[in-house]
Each structure stands twice: as structure tokens, then as C-alpha cells.
Amino acid sequence: MARDTWFETVSIAQQRAKKRLPKSAYSALLAGSEKGLTVSDNVEAFGELGFAPHVVGACEKRDLATTVMGQEVAMPVLISPTGVQAIHPDGEVAVARAAAARGTAMGLSSFASKPIEEVIAANPKTFFQIYWLGGRDAIAARAERARAAGAVGLIVTTDWSFSHGRDWGSPKIPEKMDLRTIVEMMPEGLTRPSWLLEWAKTLRPPALRAPNQGAKGEPGPAFFNVYGEWMGTPPPTWEDIAWLRELWGGPFMLKGVMRIDDAKRAVDAGVSAISVSNHGGNNLDSTPASIRALPAVAEAVGDQVEVLLDGGIRRGSDVAKALALGARAVMIGRAYLWGLGAAGQAGVENVLDILYGGLDSALRGLGKASVHDLTPEDVIMPPNFVRALGVPPAGA
């Protein structure tokens, strides 16, 4: 990336994305729910954790590579599935290329704007993310399409609670991109000429469709139609999760686990991995930061399944803290979306480089040779930091 567009922190990527994207697109990336308590806690909680660095005796070379759900990755940072990548004409394909260029894996959202076949061509290390939408037959058909496309695992996200209010207001997302919508949105677009030009070059507006919710080769249903169907679908039971896990047969993650009892039930349902996550604070506001829930969940099931964390990762040092507290790897959401909004594929690569560099620097400071050497003793934790959710009260 040219020196003048390179950014040195995720915070600067966010500022660039804000400047470059139309207001509604930027605000869709910001997301969050209700008062934004969880989205803030996800980030702020990392600031409560400290380090005690060594001054002499650092390892000359640090090893950041690991494996996650059977995939070798160059660093313990994966792309979490997110559904708003139509902010860029190349969307998920740009993100997949960036992840592949930096040797890591990608989760592809059910609401992706690009077909899974194109994304896997850009990065074979792709997990397909499934929402519980439309009943078993429809879900099985989507999983089979993902399998045929070469997806190396499934990520099942069941924590969405349809919380739609935000104290700072939600962006207006059009139902379809017809001429009328384009004319209506033009004033907003004109304030962001470089973004508009990028789309103008493609000679087509953002499609606002979900191509992976339909059959291969078709444009897919409109986003809002799928969303409506999702709202009308009965939520899954643990038997449903076990059924899908059995049907899939390969690496399988349940994303959004915050409680020990849920983590144990996920193990019983046969999952191979969980992500301790509150959907980036976009759901039930007042849920604690995922990093607060991680230590107890990792202690309860970390020897049986791979435990990942997502939520609030903005720095390489955050990754080090999560690993020290029991995560095998982390997944990122907003950080790479801001990179994508700021500078497309190069912006996502830039974000991954920031996290790699920051993690490497943390390992050096802590005197560790490898990401596998981090332990809870590497982190200074204030009293009452941990939230052990889903444990029966003492004496019960």
C-alpha cells in the first residue's frame, strides 16, 4: 500500500472509513444495539488488562502460526463473518484475498454479498456461516452448497436476538437498488466522491441481495426478504445443533457462546469449536464483554473443543491478552470492515499487519517464543474482571 494511504492503527482505519464512506454505510459498520453498553465494554475491558514486560532475554524470533478447525494459519487472527461488505464493490472477495495474502482463514456470512464459490476461489480457507433461517431443509441445502463449493468448516451463529433500536439511530438501508433509490441516495453519495467513483467504475450499484441464500449461479433473494424469513423461523434447539453438526460431519463452530452451561451443551452436541462472543455487542445489550466471559468458559471446555474469542479486538496486544486467557485464536469484525471501507483489499491487509505486528511485539515484551506459550500469568487482571456466566450459585 502506498505510504500515504497506509495506516498505523485500527483507530486510524476507522477514521479513514468514516471519511471515505457515505454516512449510512459507515453507520451500518458501526452497528451496536440499544445503549451500546456491550459494544463499549467489549473494547474497554481489554484496557483493564495489563502486562508486566521483561527487559532482557526476549526471544529473537517469535512463532505466531497455529491451527484453527484444521486449518493452518499464519497468525491466530481470523476474519469473523460479517454481512455488510457491499460497502465495497469487491466486498467479501477483497477480504478473502487479503486474508489469503496474510495466510489466514475467513468466515463468510450467510448475508454475504458475494457467492461462496467466488470467495473460496480467492481463499480456500473459508468457513461458511449459517444463521438458523428457514428450517432444516433450507439449512441443509445451504450447507450442502457450501460443502460442494469447498468450505472447510461451518460456523453456526444462533445468538441474534433481533434487537433493532439504537440510541444514536440506525442507518436507512434501502429495500432495493432501483433508479428511485439511487436518485434518493445521490446527495449522500456525492459527499463521498472517491467512494462513488469506485462504484461508478463497476457500472452497477450495490446489489443488496444474499446470493448464498439461494441456488448456485442465481443472484439470490433480496436481503430484506431473507431477513423477514429469518424473523419468522423458530429458534433452534440443542437437538437442531446436534443434527446440523452430524449432517455436516466436518469442522463445526458454534459462535456466540458466553456461558459455561451453554459451552458444555455445545460440547455434548459435538461441536469442534466455539467462539466466546456477544456478536460484537449487536444483540442483547448489557451482556458483558466477551473477554470477561472467556477465562471461565476456556477453563470449563478448553480441553475438549477449540475456544476462540471475538469482540473488541483492535490491537495485537488484545490478541495476546485473549490468548493468555485461554483463546486458541481470535476473530475480528469491525477492525477489518474499517480496513475494507478505508482502502479495500489493501486496507484489510493493513489491519491484519497491524494485528500481526502488535502481537509479535507483545510476545517480544513478554519474553515468549510462541503464541502457544502465553498463559494467564502474563496478564495483570483487576479483581472482579471475570464474569463466570451460567454457573449454578454456590450451595444450589
Ligand X SMILES: Cc1cc2nc3c(=O)[nH]c(=O)nc-3n(C[C@H](O)[C@H](O)[C@H](O)COP(=O)(O)O)c2cc1C
Binding positions for ligand X, rule: CB under 6 A: 29, 31, 42, 80-84, 109-111, 129, 157, 255, 277, 279-280, 282, 310-313, 332-335
Instruction: Give me the residue whose beta carbon is nearest to ligand X.
Output: 333
Catalytic residue among 54, 88, 164, 279: 279
C-beta closer to ligand X: residue 46 or 368: 46
Residue 54 is among the residues annotated as catalytic for this protein: no
Which letter, b or e, does each residue of 341-367 get, where b requires 16 or more Cβ atoms within 10 Å of its Cβ? bbbbbbbbbbbbbbbbebbbebbbbbe
CB of 82 to ligand X, least distance (A): 4
Q: Tell me the sheet residues that pair with 336.
A: none
Q: Cα separation of 199 and 223, whole Å?
A: 19
Q: Are 297 and 307 in contact (CB under 8 A)?
A: yes
Residue 280's contacts (CB-CB under 8 Å, 6 or more residues apart) are: 31, 32, 39, 42, 80, 310, 311, 312, 333, 334
Provide the minimum distance between the beta carbon of 325 and ligand X in the complex, in angstroms, as a whole number: 16
* 21/368 with CB nearer ligand X: 21
62: which 3 cell numbers?
517469535
Helices 260-268 and 238-248, packing angle to 10 deg: 40
* Shortest distance (Å) from residue 277 CB to ligand X: 5
CB of 394 to ligand X, least distance (A): 32
Among residues 263, 280, 276, 314, the alpha carbon closest in space to that of 109 is found at: 280
In the complex, minimum distance from the CB of residue 35 to ligand X, in angstroms, rounded to a whole number: 16
CB closer to ligand X, 71 vs 113:
113
Q: Looking at beta carbons only, is 129 or 287 nearer to ligand X?
A: 129
Residue (62 or 83) nearer to ligand X, CB = 83
Distance CA 4, CA 8 (A): 11
Per the structure block, which three cell numbers stand in for 320? 495476546
CB-based burial label for 194 (10 Å; 0-12, 13-18, 19+): exposed
Active site residues: 279
